[in-house]
Amino acid sequence: MKYELLIDISRALLLARWKQTLVAAIGVTFSITMFISLLSFMSGLNQLLDGLVINRTPHIRLYNDIKTSPVQPVALSANFKGASHHFVRSVKPKAARPEIRNSLAIIRALQKDPIVLGVAPKLVTQVFYNLGAVRINGIINGIQPEQEKRLFLFQDYVTSGAAGDLDRVSGGIILGKDIADKMMAAPGQVIYVTTITGTTVPLKVVGYFQSGLREIDQVNSYVSIATAQKLVGKPSNYITDIQIKLYDVGDAPALAMKLSKRFGVDAIDVQTENAQYETGSFIRSLISYAVGITLLVVAGFGIYNILNMIIYEKMDSIAILKATGFSGGDVQFIFTGIAAGIGISGGVIGLLLGFGGSLLIDQVPFETSSLPTVKTYPVNYNPVFYLIGFVFSVTTTFFAGYFPARKASRIDPVIIIRGK
Amino acid sequence: MKELILQTSHISKSFGDAVDVPVLSDINLQLAKGEFVSVTGKSGCGKSTLLYVLSTMDTDYDGELYIDGVCMNGKTEPQLARVRNEKIGFVFQFHYLLNEFSVLQNVMMPALRLGRWEADEIRQRAYDKLVTLDMAQHAQKKPNQLSGGQKQRVAIARALINDPLIIMGDEPTGNLDKRNSEIVFETFLQLAQTQGQTLLIVTHDQEFARRTGRTIQMQDGKVA
DSSP label at residue B5: E
**Which one of B82, B94, B112 has the shortest CB-CB distance to A5?**
B112
Q: What is the pLDDT of residues A367-414, one digit of tens each?
A: 776 666 678 888 888 898 899 888 888 888 888 888 888 888 888 888
**What local confidence, expressed as pLDDT, does residue B92 receive?**
84
CA distances from A214 to A170, A370, A398 (A): 28, 8, 51
A415 touches chain B (CB under 8 A): no
Task: Judge if A292 and A414 occupy the same domain.
Answer: yes
DSSP string, A203-270: EEEEEEE--S-HHHHTTEEEEEHHHHHHHHT--TT--SEEEEEESSGGGHHHHHHHHHHHHTSEEEEH
Give the domain-ending residue among A248, A263, A298.
A248
Between chains, do A323 and B78 touch, taking CB under 8 Å as contact? no
Mapping DSSP onto H, E and C, the string for A59-89 reads CEEEECCCCCCCCCHHHHCHHHCCCCCCCCC
Instruction: Judge whether residue A122 has pLDDT over 80.
Output: yes
Interface of A with B in 290-329 (CB under 8 A): 316-317, 319-329
Average pLDDT over residues B179-197: 85
- Rounded CA-CA distance A322/A250 in Å is 57
**What local confidence, expressed as pLDDT, does residue A148 receive?**
87
Residue B18 located in a structural domain: no
**What local confidence, expressed as pLDDT, does residue B192 receive?**
86
- Rounded CA-CA distance B107/A417 in Å is 19
Between chains, do A327 and B93 touch, taking CB under 8 Å as contact? no
Nearest residue of A to residue B116, measured between CA atoms:
A1
**What local confidence, expressed as pLDDT, does residue A348 receive?**
92
Average pLDDT over residues B208-217: 86
User: In whole numbers, what is the pLDDT of chain A averaged over residues?
Assistant: 84
Q: List the one residue out of B18, B79, B38 whose CA is nearest residue B192.
A: B38
DSSP label at residue A282: H
Q: What is the pLDDT of residues A41-56, one digit of tens each?
A: 888 888 887 777 677 7
Task: Judge if A27 and A104 occupy the same domain.
Answer: no
Task: Judge if A296 and A334 occupy the same domain.
Answer: yes
Nearest residue of A to residue B48, measured between CA atoms:
A418
Residue B1 located in a structural domain: no
**H/E stretch holding A126:** strand A116-131
Distance from CA of A366 to the nearest CA of B (A): 53
Q: What is the pLDDT of residues B24-63, one digit of tens each?
A: 888 888 888 888 888 888 887 888 888 888 888 888 888 8
**What local confidence, expressed as pLDDT, does residue A138 receive?**
92
Residue B19 located in a structural domain: no
Show residues of chain B in contact with A320, CB under 8 Å.
90, 92, 96-98
Instruction: Judge whether residue A95 has pLDDT over 80.
Output: no
**CATH number reported for the structural domain that contains residue B82 in this entry:** 3.40.50.300
Asked if A44 contacts A281 with a C-beta cutoff of 8 angstroms, the reply is no
Q: What is the pLDDT of residues A247-294, one digit of tens each?
A: 888 888 888 899 888 888 888 888 887 777 677 778 888 888 888 788
Nearest residue of A to residue B58, measured between CA atoms:
A414
Task: Judge if A243 and A283 occupy the same domain.
Answer: no
Between chains, do B86 and A325 touch, taking CB under 8 Å as contact? yes
Supply the Cα-derived Rg of chain A in whole angstroms: 33
Q: List the one residue out of A371, A412, A356, A353 whose CA is nearest residue A47.
A: A371
Average pLDDT over residues B191-204: 86
Between chains, do B101 and A12 touch, taking CB under 8 Å as contact? yes
Q: What is the pLDDT of residues A8-49, one digit of tens each?
A: 888 888 887 788 888 888 888 888 898 888 888 888 888 887
Nearest residue of B to residue A319, measured between CA atoms:
B96
Domain count, chain A: 2
Q: List the one residue out of B147, B157, B201 whose CA is nearest residue B177.
A: B147
Nearest residue of B to residue A2, measured between CA atoms:
B113
Domain enclosing residue A171, as ranges? 60-68+95-248
Average pLDDT over residues A196-202: 87
Task: Judge if A64 and A207 occupy the same domain.
Answer: yes
Instruction: Judge whether residue A61 has pLDDT over 70.
Output: yes
**What local confidence, expressed as pLDDT, does residue A77 receive?**
79
Distance from CA of A7 to the nearest CA of B (A): 12
Show residues of chain B in contact with A330, CB under 8 Å.
81, 113
Percent of all residues in chain A with a pLDDT value above 90, rounded to a whole number = 14
Percent of all residues in chain B with a pLDDT value above 90, rounded to a whole number = 0
Show residues of chain B in contact with A12, CB under 8 Å.
98, 100-101
Q: ipTM above 0.90?
A: no
| Intra-chain end-to-end CA distance of chain A, in Å | 32
Between chains, do A1 and B110 touch, taking CB under 8 Å as contact? no
Residue A46 located in a structural domain: yes
**What local confidence, expressed as pLDDT, does residue A280 receive?**
77
Instruction: Judge whether residue B142 has pLDDT over 80.
Output: yes
A83 touches chain B (CB under 8 A): no
Higher confidence at residue A121 or residue B133?
A121
**Which one of A5, A12, A15 has the shortest CB-CB distance to B113?**
A5
B84 touches chain A (CB under 8 A): yes
Domain count, chain B: 1
Asked if B88 contacts B69 with a C-beta cutoff of 8 angstroms, the reply is no
Between chains, do A326 and B85 touch, taking CB under 8 Å as contact? yes
Distance from CA of A358 to the nearest CA of B (A): 40
Distance from CA of B223 to the nearest CA of A (A): 21
**Which one of B93, B96, B110 has the shortest CB-CB distance to A325?**
B110
Residue B194 located in a structural domain: yes
B163 touches chain A (CB under 8 A): no
Between chains, do B57 and A322 touch, taking CB under 8 Å as contact? yes
Instruction: Judge whether residue A420 has pLDDT over 60.
Output: no
Percent of all residues in chain A with a pLDDT value above 70, rounded to a whole number = 95
Instruction: Judge whether residue B18 has pLDDT over 70.
Output: no
Distance from CA of A2 to the nearest CA of B (A): 6
Instruction: Judge whether residue A1 has pLDDT over 60.
Output: no
- pLDDT tier at A417, thresholds 50, 70, 90: confident
Non-local (6+) Cβ contacts of A359 within 8 A are A379
DSSP string, A168-201: HSTTEEEEEHHHHHHHT--TT-EEEEEETTS-EE
Asked if B65 contacts B11 with a C-beta cutoff of 8 angstroms, the reply is yes
Measured from the Cβ of residue A177, the count of other Cβ atoms closer than 10 Å reads 23
Residue B61 located in a structural domain: no
Residue A273 located in a structural domain: no
Amino acid in position A138: G
Asked if A195 contacts A127 with a C-beta cutoff of 8 angstroms, the reply is yes
Task: Judge if A149 and A116 occupy the same domain.
Answer: yes
**H/E stretch holding B189:** helix B178-195
Asked if B43 contacts B219 with a C-beta cutoff of 8 angstroms, the reply is no
- pLDDT tier at A316, thresholds 50, 70, 90: confident
Task: Judge if A398 and A309 occupy the same domain.
Answer: yes
Residue B60 located in a structural domain: no
**What local confidence, expressed as pLDDT, does residue B12 receive?**
85
B57 touches chain A (CB under 8 A): yes
Instruction: Judge whether residue A305 has pLDDT over 90.
Output: no
Residue B115 located in a structural domain: yes
Task: Judge if A236 and A283 occupy the same domain.
Answer: no
Q: Are strands A220-224 and B30-32 parallel, antiparallel or unpaired?
A: unpaired
Task: Judge if A25 and A110 occupy the same domain.
Answer: no
DSSP string, A317-356: HHHHHHHTT--HHHHHHHHHHHHHHHHHHHHHHHHHHHHH
Residue A264 located in a structural domain: no
Average pLDDT over residues B89-103: 86
Domain enclosing residue B129, as ranges? 35-46+78-223
Task: Judge if A307 and A377 occupy the same domain.
Answer: yes
Measured from the Cβ of residue A260, the count of other Cβ atoms closer than 10 Å reads 16
B96 touches chain A (CB under 8 A): yes
CA distances from A172 to A158, A165, A205, A408 (A): 14, 7, 6, 80
**What local confidence, expressed as pLDDT, does residue A221 receive?**
93
Between chains, do B100 and A1 touch, taking CB under 8 Å as contact? no
Q: Are strands A190-195 and A116-131 parallel, antiparallel or unpaired?
A: antiparallel
Number of residues written out for chain B:
224
Interface of B with A in 112-151 (CB under 8 A): 112-115, 119
Residue B109 located in a structural domain: yes
- Rounded CA-CA distance A118/A126 in Å is 26
| Intra-chain end-to-end CA distance of chain B, in Å | 23
Test mutation, A1, A13, A324, chain B, max B CBs within 10 A: A324
Show residues of chain B in contact with A412, CB under 8 Å.
57
Q: What is the pLDDT of residues A229-240, one digit of tens each?
A: 988 888 888 899
Task: Judge if A213 and A64 occupy the same domain.
Answer: yes
Task: Judge if A127 and A212 occupy the same domain.
Answer: yes
Between chains, do B78 and A328 touch, taking CB under 8 Å as contact? yes
- Rounded CA-CA distance A134/A140 in Å is 18
**Which one of B82, B100, B119 has the shortest CB-CB distance to A13?**
B100
Instruction: Judge whether residue A175 has pLDDT over 80.
Output: yes
Distance from CA of B84 to the nearest CA of A (A): 5
Between chains, do B84 and A323 touch, taking CB under 8 Å as contact? yes
Q: List the one residue out of A58, A368, A74 whose CA is nearest residue A212.
A: A368
Nearest residue of B to residue A322, measured between CA atoms:
B81
Q: List the one residue out of B103, B119, B6 whose CA is nearest residue B54.
A: B6
